[in-house]
Amino acid sequence: MTIMDQPRFFRFPLRDENALPVGGERPDLGDLPDWDLSDLYAAPDAPELSRDLELLGKASADFARDYEGRLISLSPEKMLECVERYQQIDILAGRLMSYTGLRYYQNTTDAARAKQMGDLQDRITEDTTRLVFFSLEFNRIPEDRYLEVFTDPDGPERYKPVFDRMRVMRPHQLSDELERFVHDNTVAGVAAWNRLFDETTAALSFDVGGEELGLEATLNLLTDHDRARREAAARALAKVFSSNIKLFSRIHNTLCKKKAIEDKWRKMATPQSARHLSNHVEPEVVEALRNAVTAAYPRLSHRYYALKARWLGLDKLQVWDRNAPLPSESPRLIAWPEARATVLDAYAGFDPKLAELAQPFFDRGWIDAAVKPGKAPGAFAHPTVTTAHPYVLLNYLGKPRDVMTLAHELGHGVHQRLAAAQGELLAATPLTLAETASVFGEMLTFRALLAKATDKAQRKALLAGKVEDMINTVVRQIAFYDFECKLHAARAEGELTPEDINALWMSVQGESLGPAFEFMPGYETFWSYVPHFVHSPFYVYAYAFGDGLVNALYAVYEDGLPDFQSKYFDMLAAGGTKHHKELLAPFGLDASDPAFWDKGLSMIEGFIDELEAMET
């Protein structure tokens, strides 16, 4: 646990969606909301921001003066005071970085915003270097003394789950001096390469039929009804990715090597180990998920895409057909008021409390929805700090999938609001469970729309869209995970050329998408724009974990488990206080059981069964 580990639930455009042509005519989607960041700070030059920055430096110095070298001797009461002071420093740093980070993501090409974020990150890193001793010294407390202090009802007992997780890192802890070096080196290391990637992708320009578009807008065309337009977009993506592939290869080579060096020093068993530890999930659980999904490729993606090829009248699908709308699906833009009503009604149908928790996002400037030049792609929900509230970023286009994205991010936001009551240190949910509320929100919205479907064509379009989303969330993300595993393993053997990385990408694409596909020249470079590989190595399996978990959870809901709603809210409100085994037990579910994942996958198979039955 470090002061800079602010939890952010990003949902970048892994589904190749969420964009609006920057240079084209904008359809009337209604009054799309912008963020009101004044709940954090009134302005980038607000005196309160400067005050908090000074407070952070002083609080960090005072904390180090009062506690460094003394943690082992603190009484339970004094340890509680120490932990709560640390939490307040965490809140200060989190508020500062949330504000400047959110402003930056509104326009990543604005030099002033980028400078403020970089300068602030430098300052906070420098100030909080004084706190590096905390986790290091804490992990040297003998186990009997630790248990004595953290099981005392007058002490920090409620914080024990946080420190239990911290102590899992004991075998991987470096010396105090090296930990300070790693902390100080963050800004000039991984963070700098992350910024280079972000600013490079934000500045990319694609010529599609004579029109210059950004990455988001070009990816959006892959869902266009016009097949020629989709092909033009795919070829434009391939051309630009190929021309920048050396830079993207350098970024990935460097970050993989930096990770390998740190993993070696920390004695991590595998490149994935750090992610599993931070997710509080056992490697065998992730392996069971991965194996279940890859074994199901023929029953899921291969089968569905063969069906889609028939619908489109094609012998082979091209990559620009993967997310193509069905021929019978009439294009319809959904204005913002309808999207808002659709999601809130679906949430209220589950429980009015869920809609009440989501309502303020629309009313109080907690959503930034419109596509704008320089704005970060995709969508995310950022919890900021527990003394404020989350903010949701969208790139809303008015497509049905954009409504699902809204439902997804609001699920995150509701989860973050409920967990905030635990306090800053206990609110953060492990990534494996962080996708639960978001995917559940999507499922509620999908089921509400399906129940209102008035004819066969409408039902078919909804079912097909949901199956594609589930395949993109489960199959595609596990393929991404396999690609990352292969990438890091190959980099351990030496520098990788762009052709090496391209070959690794194609080795998982053919396996996961199946024989219905033919891959155009240039598709081998499409790994280059996926931000998760850069920002959060091995993050992607959390999407598949969340989807499989929610499918199983929704089946329990449909079966009528007594008090399901209250148990669901309790699970979300628990934040990071419990392990996934404890959280799922009230629902009779266990993610460590290999059969658990087959239950979730069977829901996708059931939808494909219904689609196939419509053909007869």
206 domain-assigned: no
Could you give the residue ranges of the DSSP H alpha helices within 435-497? 436-452, 456-473, 475-491
pLDDT the model gives residue 376: 87
> What long-range pairs does 181-188 form, CB within 8 A, spacing at least 24?
182/262, 183/2, 183/4, 183/125, 183/128, 183/129, 183/132, 184/125, 184/126, 184/129, 186/4, 186/125, 187/118, 187/121, 187/122, 187/125
Q: Per-residue pLDDT tens for 123-138?
A: 998 999 899 889 888 8
Query: Is 481 buried (19+), middle (13-18) or exposed (0-12) by CB count in 10 A?
Result: buried
pLDDT the model gives residue 577: 92
- Number of domains the chain is built from: 1
547 domain-assigned: yes
552 domain-assigned: yes
191 domain-assigned: no
Report whether pLDDT(21) > 70: no
pLDDT the model gives residue 329: 67
Rounded percentage of the chain residues whose pLDDT exceeds 90? 68
Average pLDDT over residues 71-100: 96
Average pLDDT over residues 5-20: 33
* Residue 220: band (very low, low, confident or very high) from pLDDT cuts 50, 70, 90: confident
Q: Which of 325, 327, 321, 326 is nearest to 519 (CA)?
A: 321
Phi/psi of residue 604, each to 5°?
-65, -45
Average pLDDT over residues 505-514: 95
Report whether pLDDT(24) > 50: no
560 domain-assigned: yes
Helix and strand counts by DSSP (H, E) for the chain = 28, 6
What residues have CB less than 8 Å from 251, skipping those under 6 apart? Answer: 193, 196, 197, 534
pLDDT the model gives residue 188: 66
pLDDT the model gives residue 187: 64
- Dihedral of CA atoms 194, 195, 198, 201 in degrees, nearest 10, equals -100
Q: Per-residue pLDDT tens for 251-272?
A: 999 999 999 989 898 899 999 9
What residues have CB less than 8 Å from 65, skipping those under 6 apart? Answer: none
Phi/psi of residue 213, each to 5°?
-125, 160
* Residue 151: band (very low, low, confident or very high) from pLDDT cuts 50, 70, 90: very high
pTM score? 0.81
Average pLDDT over residues 160-167: 89
pLDDT the model gives residue 73: 95
Average pLDDT over residues 16-27: 41
Lowest mean pLDDT among 174-188, 322-336, 492-506: 174-188
Report whether pLDDT(4) > 70: no
407 domain-assigned: yes
Q: Per-residue pLDDT tens for 331-357?
A: 678 999 999 999 999 999 999 999 999
CATH code for position 547 = 1.10.1370.40
Report whether pLDDT(54) > 60: yes
Higher pLDDT among residues 449 and 89, named by residue: 89
119: amino acid identity, one letter? D
84 domain-assigned: no
Mean pLDDT over all residues of the chain?
Answer: 89
pLDDT the model gives residue 15: 31
482 domain-assigned: no
Phi/psi of residue 212, each to 5°?
-90, 120
Whether residue 198 contacts residue 105, with contact meaning beta carbons closer than 8 Å, is answered with no
Report whether pLDDT(181) > 80: no
- Residue range(s) defining the domain that contains residue 406: 336-471+541-579
Which of 164-178, 192-206, 407-421, 457-471 has the highest average model confidence (pLDDT)? 407-421
Higher pLDDT among residues 151 and 23, named by residue: 151
Whether residue 7 contacts residue 189, with contact meaning beta carbons closer than 8 Å, is answered with no
